[in-house]
Amino acid sequence: MSANWQSLRSRLPGSRWAVISVPYLWLLLFFAIPFLIALKISFAKFEMAMPPYSSLLNWEDGFLVLKLRLENYLYLVNDSLYVNAYLSSLKIAVIATGLCLLIGYPMAYVISRMEPATRNIALMLVVLPSWTSFLIRIYAWIGILKQNGLLNNFLLNIGLIDAPLKILYTPAAVYIGIVYAYLPFMVLPLYSNLVKLDRRLLEAAYDLGARPWRAFLAITLPLSKAGIIAGSMLVLIPVVGEFVIPEMLGGPDTLMIGRVLWQEFFNNRDWPVASAVAIVMLIILIVPILIFHKSQAKELEGRLA
Amino acid sequence: MSSRRSGSTSTWLVLGLGFFFLYAPILSLIIYSFNENRLVTVWSGFSIKWYGELFRDQQMMKAAWISLQLAFYTAWASVVLGTMAAMVMTRFRSFRGKTLFGGLITAPLVMPEVITGLSMLLMFIALRGLLGIELPLGMTTIWIAHVTFCMAFVAVVISSRLSELDKSLEEAAMDLGAGPVKVFFVITLPIITPALLSGWLLAFTLSLDDLVISSFVTGPSSTTLPMKVFSSVRMGVSPKINALATLLIAVVSTVGVIGWYLMARAERKRARDLQLAANQ
């Protein structure tokens, strides 16, 4: 009896499989499969019903007929609104990522060179704002950038400008908001990369007569490539689909695909078109996501080795 | 010597400008929450009346309560699932499907929220049609959606702690005959407690903050705090929102500083203990 029990136990999946399967199944069911369902619905047709889309499989004359409609995708390609929204989202995301890198790199560099105690405080100060509500930090910029806002009042008072600048509801405001909200995501991976940099390499370069700027270009910059990639992807990918920032700080003409998807879903209630918009966005982002995934995996392996 | 001096000047310049950029908007929110004037940016005297208005706003209070509950339950589930995922990524030998698992755990970190939100809603609807599982849209569906993306962030925090951890303690316990489950609860868990705490707090704030995903998967009866804030901001700037922002900032920075202090202390104690053990 006890021998039977033993053999049964050894055949049952152990705690190892329980630990793997619980998060695995959760992510499959609630993260992977939803994309497949969105893919399916992107081939359906809008209908005034609940749920508001046609089914792909139907019985017709005793045959089970699978109808994949490409009309949603054709619609996206033929309407310049969608093409422009994708292009302008990519453009905004690329420029904003570049700006984050320009501001974030010097910050990460300077922090990584500090004494460990001050370094931790500085790092906490970088992260702390991102722990407070994203929505509220974007809202703060409305008060600063608007026509009679803090920035315009300040510039008028010091006499730098004669008439208030129009910044809010322009692309400039969207860039400011994105850089502001996403800067910590750039600084953190850059910092954790730069802090590991072997300083002896730089000292060797100085001993060989390299000027600081040249030593930076030849040693620090190439060695921080992994941090640059990770930080850039952490900014670029979510910004392409950003909704809140263009909605709150951008004008009606600030075209971004996240906003278009939101309007298709919430205003037009056209779920199939919204799904097609999401699927195309996913296809555009698949390469950056893979690059990010690879850099994350490498980071983990590098530490394990 | 002079190059070092100029180095430190540019250091303070970079950090000064950087931190000014990060904190000036937050400071302006706090200052103008005490402004008596309805026009947010015209100062007309000190007042705390907007705080009173905020607490009298029944809808806002109800939304805050819903959000706090959601964040609390999300944080617990995310820490459990995220820790499991982190153990799988850093401690388990390879198995078939590990690559896909790694992808599923990193993708939520960067996936645009509109895509995640829409897909999850479609899945909840499809679940109803296909399997007949009736998940009413509301607290439950928001909770599931929040746990899904928060567990990925928790997994990153914990696996980066696990991977820099010296495995020799765990291996020693295994050598002494402890099973993997016992090793985890007796050895690993106490060491990674600070990481669990920061993971918990991260999940809590992420959930408390989420607007886009919640908007997709919610039902008519569950309005979360970000949804309420978003709809009132759309109507225009209101000092009440400034008051709410100030309260949130006060809570978050207090919790953040305490958490940071506790973690730093735990870290120092651990270093001391290791030192002691090494000396013995």
Give residue-wise pLDDT tens across range B215-272.
999 988 889 999 999 988 887 777 888 899 899 888 888 877 887 787 778 777 777 8
Q: Is residue B261 part of a domain?
A: no
Q: List, in sequence order, every beta strand (DSSP E) within A6-140.
A: 57-60, 63-66
Structural domains of chain A, with CATH? 74-304 (1.10.3720.10)
How confident is the prediction for chain A on average, in pLDDT? Answer: 86
ipTM of the complex: 0.88
Chain A contact set for B228 (CB, 8 A)? none
In this prediction, residue A72 carries a pLDDT of: 87
Checking if the pLDDT of A122 tops 80, the result is yes
Q: Which of B123, B170, B235 should we substitute to test contact with A (largest number of A Cβ atoms within 10 Å)?
A: B123
Question: Which among A240, A241, A292 is positioned nearest to B109, based on CA atoms?
Answer: A292
Asked whether the bond before B180 is cis by omega within 30 degrees of 0, the reply is: no
Find, in chain B, the residue whose alpha carbon is nearest to that of A100.
B18
Q: Is residue B204 part of a domain?
A: yes
Q: CB–CB of B41/A150 below 8 Å?
A: yes
CATH code for the domain in which residue B222 is found: 1.10.3720.10
Please give, rounded to a whole number of angstroms, the shortest distance from the CA of B273 to a CA of chain A: 20
Q: CB–CB of B242/B33 below 8 Å?
A: yes
3-state secondary structure A139-200: HHHHHHHCCCCHHHHHHHHCCCCCCCCCCCCCHHHHHHHHHHHHHHHHHHHHHHHHCCCCHH
* Total residues belonging to chain B: 280
Please give, rounded to a whole number of angstroms, the shortest distance from the CA of A129 to a CA of chain B: 7
In this prediction, residue A186 carries a pLDDT of: 94
Q: Mind listing the pLDDT tens digit for each residue in B111-142? A: 999 999 999 999 998 887 777 777 788 899 99
For chain A, state the CA radius of gyration. Answer: 26
How confident is the prediction for chain B on average, in pLDDT? Answer: 86
Question: How many structural domains are present in chain B?
Answer: 1
Cβ distance B113 to A243 less than 8 Å, yes or no, reads: yes
Q: Mind listing the pLDDT tens digit for each residue in A103-113? A: 999 999 999 98
Cβ distance A26 to B252 less than 8 Å, yes or no, reads: no
Q: Is residue B119 part of a domain?
A: yes
Cβ distance B41 to A120 less than 8 Å, yes or no, reads: no
Q: Is residue B145 part of a domain?
A: yes
In this prediction, residue B1 carries a pLDDT of: 36
Q: Pick from A23, A144, A274: which is nearest to B28 by CB?
A: A144
Checking if the pLDDT of B3 tops 50, the result is no
Burial of residue A117 (number of CB atoms within 10 Å: 0-12, 13-18, 19+): exposed
Q: Is residue B232 part of a domain?
A: yes
Q: Is residue B277 part of a domain?
A: no
* Structural domain of B167: 53-241
Question: Which among A201, A200, A193, A180 is positioned nearest to A226, based on CA atoms?
Answer: A193
The number of C-beta contacts closer than 8 angstroms across A and B is 243
Cβ distance B233 to A135 less than 8 Å, yes or no, reads: yes
In this prediction, residue A1 carries a pLDDT of: 45
Residue that wins the pLDDT comparison between B55 and A199: B55
In this prediction, residue B2 carries a pLDDT of: 38
d(CA B122, CA B251): 35
Find, in chain B, the residue whose alpha carbon is nearest to that of A149.
B41
Residue B172 forms contact with A (CB below 8 Å)? no
In this prediction, residue A3 carries a pLDDT of: 52
Q: Is residue B70 part of a domain?
A: yes
Q: Is residue B247 part of a domain?
A: no
In this prediction, residue B4 carries a pLDDT of: 45
Residue that wins the pLDDT comparison between B137 and A262: A262
In this prediction, residue B260 carries a pLDDT of: 75
